[in-house]
Chain A
């Protein structure tokens, strides 16, 4: 039987190890940056329970993330790992860490912008999004749907480059 302190150390160690598991669609973001990793529990028999939450309902990355978590922990000496999916509370872009937002912008994806009004309002102005390439705010929305579920498609009117915007989800 593991002592309580050993269990805590093991859990802290696993959180650290999982910093190296990234989102397969946005490889600069770890699952911690993304706010997808919810819970790590080491049971008395040594079995590890990892709980993750999907960004979008249909996010095809979740299976890959679960497999990557198991592989990473297997390589680090944790052979018995279960990954559980938890829907509630539902993921929101508020859980992206400040570090994660900085990494996104450096990678060329505009990070989510806090909406001015009610995000569920059905009519209203589009959010002003800063171009991640030239920092101009003279940009326009091309489509609310982009290369993956979590992104919208914008274009910069200044440098003319198209870019991805990690859209706000609340």
Chain B
């Protein structure tokens, strides 16, 4: 289908250096929403109840919609004639720049909810600021996805509270999920060189200004959920610079299968 976004005229006025930085950043955002969207879509037909199966599929759909806009824009910034499909399907694991958190396996429903919750807050507060980027391409995508991401964070926050302040078993499981996943939350806010340079020129927010909002929201929800945040945890990182867990390779094998078996197939 030849339905594509209207090109962003401003791109033509950017220096090659700025284009390269924005390309790298847009690609990183696209990889992040693609990988998490794919993980959530693995729940389709396996959710604990129908309504939550639908909820996860809907959130996956929003994320993959955002992904498509981002890959199309990345291709435009790159200017080498690649398509969104080339970028999504024809790169190796080391080329993906998503944070480790989003590639981790689904685990049980509690693990998935916790992974989602840690990401949703970061995502929402980032999009909120990114709407004001002087780059019209990123600003438009952020403004669109910001509206949807509010619903995502409400959903995951409510489930954290319900499971934490729920039965003995749900509490035990969600506390365990927090203990396992907390160490991946730091990477969200650790800025890469690309992010630092774009923040210096005010194309994207400095993540240090986002974190207090996230800290406050996360603390409030964990308090209501009667959950304890692990202390003195060594924060894992690597995904944003291409050093991934073994899980990403398996995920990509499935994600890229169709495109590798039938080259050129369109989305």
Contacts and interface: CB of A to CB of B under 8 A. Distances in A.
Contacts of A146: 54, 58
B51 A153 contact: yes
B121 to A, nearest CB: 9
A122 B64 contact: no
Nearest to A143: B51
Interface in B50-71: 51-52, 54-55, 57-59, 61-66, 68-69
A13 interface: no
Interface residues of B, number: 36
A69 B183 CA distance: 49
B147 A87 contact: no
B207 interface: no
A87 B4 contact: no
A15 interface: no
Nearest to B72: A85
B197 interface: no
A86 B5 CA distance: 6
B208 interface: no
Interface stretch (A3-11, A57-65, A95-103): A57-65
Interface string A79-93: 000011111111110
Interface in A114-139: 119-120, 122-123
Contact of B69 (A57, A84, A144, A145): A57
A120 B58 contact: no
A143 B52 contact: yes
A149 interface: yes
Contact of B3 (A58, A66, A91, A170): A66
A161 to B, nearest CB: 16
Interface in B117-175: 136, 139-141, 143-145, 147-148, 150-151, 153-155, 157
Contacts of B153: 122
B145 A89 contact: no
A94 to B, nearest CB: 11
28 contacts: A57-B68, A57-B148, A58-B64, A58-B65, A58-B66, A84-B4, A85-B5, A86-B5, A86-B6, A87-B69, A87-B141, A88-B143, A90-B140, A91-B144, A122-B150, A122-B157, A142-B51, A143-B51, A143-B52, A143-B55, A145-B54, A145-B55, A145-B151, A146-B58, A147-B54, A149-B62, A153-B51, A153-B54
